[in-house]
Amino acid sequence: AAILARPEFGYVTPAPPPRVIQWLGRQWQRVMRALGRFLPDWTLDIPVGVARAIAVIGVAVLAAAVALTLMRIAGELTADSALAGEDDVFGTPLTADAALRRAQEYSAGGDYRTAVRYLYLSTLLLLEQHGVLRYDRALTNREVLRRVAHDPTLSATLQDVVDVFDRVWYGYQPLDEVTYQRYAAAVDRLKRYG
């Protein structure tokens, strides 16, 4: 008994953890009991530390999935009516009106090929502003057409605009002022849409 009375054999009762830690511990136990109702009996063989680590990792993965989903939804809800990479000298992204002004500048200078490009961009951006079409730079022109296929009038007019754009921009087909004016008129019909 005298040996056990020595200080090195004395057991000091630790102070109880703060109330917040106690409350968190109780909440954790409630969560684990609730989860235990849905888990098979073999999980009882898993050590508590491993179970907690798995639970923490699971919560982290779930939180990351929720965060990514919310970011994606927010990105889809945000109207992307400005074209990245086409900023003006002040760093303002290209809008439908700015693209139309550039098209007019290029056509006045006789550069109808570039004017057609900006007219087409202004059309896509304007259709997005009207909520008719979600503009996405990653889509091909044919994919854009498929997105409006439900509306025959819009689809037919946009088909003509896309065909001319593709021939001029990608096929380097020469374009004169008369053909450009016809193209601008077709684009104008689209701009009244929506």
Q: What's the confidence (pLDDT) of residue 120?
A: 94
What residue segments make up the domains of the chain, in order of their start?
Answer: 16-77, 96-191
> Tens of pLDDT along 22-53?
898 899 888 878 877 776 665 566 777 777 78
Residue ranges of the chain with per-residue pLDDT less than 50: 78-84
Helix (H, G, I), strand (E, B) or coil at 192: coil
Check: CB of residue 89 under 8 Å from CB of residue 83.
Answer: no
In terms of phi and psi (left: phi > 0; alpha: psi -120 to 50; beta: otherwise), the region of 10 is: beta
Q: What topology does CATH give the domain 96-191?
A: Four Helix Bundle (Hemerythrin (Met), subunit A) (1.20.120)
Residue for token digits 């009996």? 41
What is the distance between the alpha carbons of residues 146 and 159, in angstroms, rounded to a whole number? 10
pTM of the model: 0.54
